């Protein structure tokens, strides 16, 4: 839970800073920090990818998982869900409610939140969530300056949501062997690399559609 707690704290702290200093941080610096963090996220992904030993399984898992994700179109459905909630909140007068719901979606509905929480629960490695904490803290400053105190409250949503995934993954860890966990970690590392690339390239990858790949090793080792 350490990674999730750090993530929630970063959002709350960033939100408070945003409320206090408003537009004191230039947009140029914010963009540079996001790109630098994107590079760090790619490095973390590479490190995690090397924990796997079966690269054939990694490739097969990514192929099968991507096909499943594209058919279901996880990324599009997540975006549609976020847009639906946000459109409902735009009619509300309360900026607190708007900031809370919008930022809850931004911070929770994403691949990094899911992969990072699974990684934290399975292996006790919190690197992904620590990186996410940095990213969320930076964006929370900007969001709070424009949407108000609701951004700070979204930190509670992150704590509950990611904490639940982490605890569920921790329970799964006792049912899975070390080999399976390592292969799931390696695939998660590739997905994390994709998230990092999205901070640097114009044409964003639909990283959410890769998520089913993480669970393919469980099925593989059930039969082999």
Domain ranges of the chain: 2-223
DSSP state of 90: T
Mean pLDDT of 39-57: 85
pLDDT digits (tens, 9 = 90+) for 95-149: 666 677 667 767 876 667 888 888 888 888 888 899 889 888 888 887 787 777 8
Is the torsion defined by CA of 83, 84, 90, 93 positive or negative?
Answer: negative
Listed range (6-10, 88-92, 196-200) with the worst mean pLDDT? 88-92
Residue identified by tokens 């639906």 is 84
Mean pLDDT of 15-43: 77
Q: Which of 127, 110, 159 is nearest to 44 (CA)?
A: 127
Distance CA 135, CA 86 (A): 21
Q: Which of 11-25, 61-75, 143-157 has the highest mean pLDDT?
A: 61-75
Chain-centroid distance of CA 49 in Å reads: 17
């Amino acid at each position: 839970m350490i990674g999730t707690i750090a993530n929630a704290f970063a959002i709350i702290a960033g939100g408070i800073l945003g409320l206090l200093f408003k537009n004191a941080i230039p947009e140029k610096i914010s963009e540079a920090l996001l790109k630098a963090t994107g590079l760090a996220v790619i490095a973390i992904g590479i490190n995690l990818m090397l924990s796997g030993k079966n690269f054939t399984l990694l490739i097969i898992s990514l192929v099968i998982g991507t096909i499943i994700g594209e058919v279901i179109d996880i990324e599009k459905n997540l975006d549609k869900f976020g847009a639906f909630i946000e459109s409902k909140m735009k009619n509300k007068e309360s900026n607190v409610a708007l900031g809370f719901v919008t930022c809850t979606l931004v911070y929770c509905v994403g691949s990094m939140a899911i992969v990072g929480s699974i990684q934290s629960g399975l292996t006790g490695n919190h690197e992904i969530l620590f990186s996410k904490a940095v990213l969320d803290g930076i964006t929370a400053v900007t969001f709070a300056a424009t949407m108000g105190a609701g951004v700070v409250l979204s930190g509670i949503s992150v704590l509950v949501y990611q904490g639940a995934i982490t605890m569920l993954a921790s329970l799964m860890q006792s049912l899975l062997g070390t080999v399976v966990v390592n292969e799931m970690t390696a695939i998660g590392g590739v997905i994390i690399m994709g998230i990092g690339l999205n901070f640097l390239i114009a044409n964003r990858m639909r990283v959410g559609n890769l998520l089913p790949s993480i669970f393919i090793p469980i099925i593989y080792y059930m039969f082999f």
